[in-house]
Structure 1
Amino acid sequence: MDKVGKGSAIILLCSLMIVSGMGTVQAKQQGTTTSTKVSSTATNTSKVSADPIPQIVKDISPSVVGIIGKGALGQGNSNSDRYNLVHGTGVIVRANGWIVTNAHVVSGVTNTMVVTSNGKSYPIQKVFIDETSDLAVVKIAANGLTPAKFTKSLLDTEVGEKVIAIGTPVSFSLRNSATVGVVSGMNRGVNAAYRLIQSDTAINPGNSGGPLVNMKGEVLGINTMKFAAVGVENMGFSIPSDTVQYVINQLMTYGEVKRPSLGLSLEESWSAIVGLPTDEPLTVTKVLTPEAEAAGIQEDDLLYSINGIKVTNNVDINELFKTYAPSQTVKLLMQSDGDIVIRRLVLSRQGLFLNSESEVEI
C-alpha cells in the first residue's frame, strides 16, 4: 500500500474474501365525459424522458464478468486454504473468450475462474500480465460472448458527465453491481505509469478490472484503484480506454508489452512532483544503455522535449511512447554543459521501474 498523504492511501480494488455460502400511464379528459384514453403523445414523451441508465446497465452487463481464485495463504482473513479467495472483475474484449482485467486481480492467483453474467463458469486457460499498466488479458474456452464497446476517443469526454461503474464489490455474490457518478477529472497523474480518469462513482474492493461506462454505453476505462482514508469519499481512478487498447494489442500480439525506452534514469523537478504547473525539464541522473551513451547524453543533462513534444514528467514520456516502438530514432531537445543541443537517440527496450524518489528508468 503506497502512502499518498497524511492519513490517506491509495488502494487497489482487488478484493480478499472469505466465502460463507453466501409505467405510469397519463390520461386526457375529453370535454365533460368521465372516460379517459391514453395519450400517445404523453406516452412517447415518457419514453423519451426515461432514465437511460437501466438500459445501459442491461446492455453492458453481458460483457462484464467476475473473476475468482485462490490467493496465497495468509493474504486473506482466513488461515484455511479452502476459503482464502480473492476476486475482481473483467471485461470481455473478444467473442472467443478474451477478457481484460487488472494485473493485480490475477497476479499470483491460482485456480482462477471466470463467471459470466448468465452464471456460467470457465477456468482461465491463458494469462498475460503487464504490471506497469496494471492490466492483464486472460483467455477462457468460450465462444459467442458479447464484447464491450470501447470509446474510440476520450477527447469528447467532459468533466461532470455521468458515468456508470460495474463490478463485483466486496462479495462475489454481488457480481454486476452498478453505481453511478460523474467524471471528476481527466489526465490525472496518480501513482501510476499512465494518466488516469478520476470519477466519484462508488467503487470498492472487487471492482478492480470492471468498466467505467459513459451514457453511450461505451467503456471509457478500466477501474483500478481509489483513495481510501477517513474523510475521503468517492475518489476512484480508471485506466483510460486508449491505454487499455494499447496494452491489449501488445499482450495479444506478443504476450508482453514491448515498450520503448530512452535508456535513461530521469528525475522530475520539485514542481512536477508536487503537481504544480511547470515547464521545468527532467534531469538525467544516470545513463543506462549503449544507445544513450552513443547519443552523447551525460549525467546532469536536462531533457526538454522528445520529437518536439514537451515533457516535464515521466508520465508525459510514457504517454508519448504509446505510439513509438523500440529501435525507432527520436530527437531530444536537451541542455548539456549549459548549451541547448539536439541529441538523436535510438530507443531501446529497457523496462520501466518506479521508485520512491520519483526517479524512473525509461
Structure 2
Amino acid sequence: MSLFDDDFYSTRVSRRIRSTGRDASFSKRGIGIRWTPVRVAVASSMVSALAAVLVFGLFTGFDRSEGSVSAVAGVTNVGLSNDPLEKTISAAAKMRPAVVSIINEQAQPESDGNDSAGTDGGDGSPELQQAALGSGFIFEKVKGKAHIITNNHVIEDAVAVKAVLSNGETRNARVVGTDAITDLAVLEIDADGIDAVAEFGESEGLRAGQWVMAIGNPLGLSDSLTMGIVSKTKRIIPVSLSQDGNYDWEQEVIQIDASINQGNSGGPLIDLDGNVVGINSMKIAEYGVEGVGFAIPSHIAMPIVQSLLEYGKVKRPYLGVYTMDLGLYMAQQAAAAQGHGDDDGSAGGADQEQSTEEGSQSGDGAAVGGEDEGVMMPQGDLKLPDDVKQGVIVLQAVGPAEEAGLAFNDVIVKLDNVSISSTMELRKYLYGKKTIGDEIEVTFYRDGKKQTTTFKLAEKTEE
C-alpha cells in the first residue's frame, strides 16, 4: 500500500499547456541569452537533477528530526522517525523491555527406589526443576506490583513460577488467576525497578496483510523477535480442552505467519506502533506445515484478564452435567456392531469402557468432566426416535441439573429452543448467551419420551 495518494503519480499533462496550440519555444525578446544546443542541454540537466531531488525528498522525507507522521488510509503511524524502515526498530524497542520469560517449575519425579528424589535434603520440601518455558509481558503496575499476561498452558501444573526480566533478572511470580477455556493467566511480581509497561492497540482494527511482530522466548532464546503479516484477522479453530482429541471449545484467534515456536506462548503480538494486538498462543506443528501461527486478540483477552485480576477466575454460568456427544457414541456403537456383530457383546462393552477417556468431556464447560472416576458411560438402548441423531448424553448430573431432575442417560437436544448437537455447542450457548442466575429451559429425551425442565443457572464453585 502506498503512503501517497494515487494522484501523486499522475502523468497528466497540464491543462494550460494542452489548451494552447502555440509554439512553446523560448522567446529571445528581452533576454540577452542565446539558447544554443549546449546551453539547452545544460539547463535540461539541471532541471532534471532538481526534479530528482524533489521526488526523492517527497518519498524519504526532508525532515529527519524526531516526530510522528500520520500515514494515509490507515497505515500504521511512524514513531520516532519519518523513515518507514525504522518502524520495526522503534516498535521493538518500545515493547521489548516489557516482555519477560516465564519458567514453570515442578517437583522432580520420584526415583525408582523407595527413597524419594523429590526432596532437597534440607527442610524436606520437594526439589523443583524446570518443566516448561514460555513468555509473557508486563501490562500494568499497581501498588508496587507488576502484572503479567501469559498463557494458562505455560504455567499449568506449576509448583513455582519465575519471571525473567529483559535485563536477565529472575523474580518469583505469584499466580493471580488462570482460565483454561481461553488459555490465559495473570501473574504478579514485585514492581521495584520496572519502568516499561506494554500498551494495547486495536486488535479489532487489524487487516489481512498488516505487518506484525512476535516477541518472546522461543526455545529458551529470550528477547527474540520474529516478523510476518496477519494472514486472517478472525479464525475460529476447535480446541480440545482435556487434550483427549475431542473438540469441546472453539477459540477466536488471529492467524499470522510470523514464526511461533515452543516458548513463544504467552508473548505479545504487536503492531508497528509497538502496541499489543494479541497474545501468541499456538501453532500448527505438523510435518510440512509452516507459517501458521495463532494469537488471542487483545480485545477478547482483556475482559478475561480483568476478571482474573478481580476474582482470580472467570465467572461463568454452570449447568451441572458431564456429557458425551451423541454422535460420537452412535459412531462407536456402529463400529462395535460392525466389527463384532457375531460376538456376545463383550468386545462392545470394552469399547465403551475405553471411550470413558475419549468421550467424557467437560460437561457444560463448568464441571471438570472426564477426570471424575464416578462418571459412567451410556448403557443400554437410549430409545431415541429415529430422527434424533444429535445431542449430548448426560453421563452425570450435579448441582443445578441434578436438582432439576436430569439424570444419567438423558439426551439433551435443546437449550431454550436452540438445538444442541454437541458439548461444544452446549458450552458456547451457555457462555455466550447466558449469565449466572438466568433461567434456562432444557429439552431432553428419557426412555424415548421428550421432556422439558426449567431451572436457574448457578455459579461454578471450586471442587
Identify the TM-score tier after normalising by the shorter chain: 0.5 to 0.7
- The DSSP-based 3-state class of the residue aligned with 1:87 is strand
The answer to whether the 8 Å contact 2:176/2:309 transfers is no
Superposed CA deviations along residues 229-277 of structure 1, whole A, max 9, x for unmatched, are 3223233333343552243222211223333221122333549x99xxx
- The DSSP-based 3-state class of the residue aligned with 2:285 is strand
Tell me which residue corresponds to 1:89: 135
Tell me which residue corresponds to 1:255: 312
Mapped partners of 1:39, 1:121: distance in 2: 52
1:43 aligns with 2:57: yes
Tell me which residue corresponds to 1:32: 45
Mapped partners of 2:166, 2:392: distance in 1: 50
Mapped partners of 1:350, 1:82: distance in 2: 32
Compute the displacement of 1:126 (Å): 4.6
Tell me which residue corresponds to 2:114: none
The answer to whether the 8 Å contact 1:281/1:304 transfers is no
Tell me which residue corresponds to 1:11: none
Compute the displacement of 1:99 (Å): 0.5
Aligned AA (2:60): S
Mapped partners of 1:280, 1:46: distance in 2: 65
Tell me which residue corresponds to 2:189: 140
Mapped partners of 1:61, 1:321: distance in 2: 39
Superposed CA deviations along residues 268-327 of structure 1, whole A, max 9, x for unmatched, are 3549x99xxxx9753232351242244454543333345x66654434444454467874
Tell me which residue corresponds to 2:411: 301
- The DSSP-based 3-state class of the residue aligned with 2:318 is coil
Aligned ranges for residues 278-357 of structure 1 at < 5 Å?
281-298=390-407, 299-306=409-416, 311-322=420-431, 327-332=436-441, 334-336=443-445, 343-350=453-460
Aligned AA (2:237): R
Tell me which residue corresponds to 1:18: none
The answer to whether the 8 Å contact 1:196/1:239 transfers is yes
Tell me which residue corresponds to 2:251: 195
Mapped partners of 1:53, 1:280: distance in 2: 53
Aligned ranges for residues 60-139 of structure 1 at < 5 Å?
60-68=95-103, 70-73=105-108, 84=130, 86-96=132-142, 97-109=146-158, 112-117=161-166, 119-139=168-188
Tell me the TM-score normalised to structure 2 length.
0.55
Superposed CA deviations along residues 173-196 of structure 1, whole A, max 9, x for unmatched, are x31422324335611113244414
Which structure 1 residue ranges, 5 or more long, are not aligned?
A: 1-28, 76-80, 354-362
Identity %, equivalent residues: 25
The answer to whether the 8 Å contact 1:335/1:341 transfers is yes
Whose strand fraction is larger, Structure 1's or Structure 2's? 1
Compute the displacement of 1:334 (Å): 2.7
Number of residue equivalences: 314
1:268 aligns with 2:325: yes
Compute the displacement of 1:209 (Å): 0.7
Deviation above 6 Å: which 4+ runs of structure 1? Answer: 338-341
Compute the displacement of 1:88 (Å): 1.4
1:58 aligns with 2:93: yes
Superposed CA deviations along residues 6-43 of structure 1, whole A, max 9, x for unmatched, are xxxxxxxxxxxxxxxxxxxxxxx974349966846533
Compute the displacement of 1:92 (Å): 2.0
Mapped partners of 1:269, 1:67: distance in 2: 40
Compute the displacement of 1:171 (Å): 2.4
- Taking a change above 3 Å as real, the CA distance of residues 254 and 146 of structure 1, as seen in their structure-2 partners, is same
Compute the displacement of 1:227 (Å): 2.8
Structure 1, 32-41 or 192-201: larger mean CA deviation: 32-41
Mapped partners of 2:410, 2:391: distance in 1: 9
Structure 1, 221-230 or 158-167: larger mean CA deviation: 158-167
Tell me which residue corresponds to 2:279: 222
The answer to whether the 8 Å contact 2:326/2:390 transfers is yes
The match for 2:226 among 178, 202, 223 is: 178
- The DSSP-based 3-state class of the residue aligned with 1:229 is coil
- Taking a change above 3 Å as real, the CA distance of residues 352 and 312 of structure 1, as seen in their structure-2 partners, is farther
Compute the displacement of 1:56 (Å): 3.4
The answer to whether the 8 Å contact 2:281/2:296 transfers is yes
- Taking a change above 3 Å as real, the CA distance of residues 44 and 98 of structure 1, as seen in their structure-2 partners, is farther
Mapped partners of 2:312, 2:277: distance in 1: 24
Higher relative contact order (CA 8 A, sep 6+): 1
Mapped partners of 1:242, 1:128: distance in 2: 19
Mapped partners of 2:323, 2:92: distance in 1: 44
Mapped partners of 1:121, 1:107: distance in 2: 19
Superposed CA deviations along residues 122-171 of structure 1, whole A, max 9, x for unmatched, are 33245433344432211111154413305464xx5555554432211112
Whose helix fraction is larger, Structure 1's or Structure 2's? 2
Mapped partners of 1:30, 1:123: distance in 2: 72
The answer to whether the 8 Å contact 1:63/1:148 transfers is no
Mapped partners of 1:258, 1:313: distance in 2: 22
Mapped partners of 1:159, 1:284: distance in 2: 41
- The DSSP-based 3-state class of the residue aligned with 1:32 is helix
Mapped partners of 1:159, 1:344: distance in 2: 45
The answer to whether the 8 Å contact 1:303/1:332 transfers is no
Mapped partners of 1:290, 1:111: distance in 2: 33
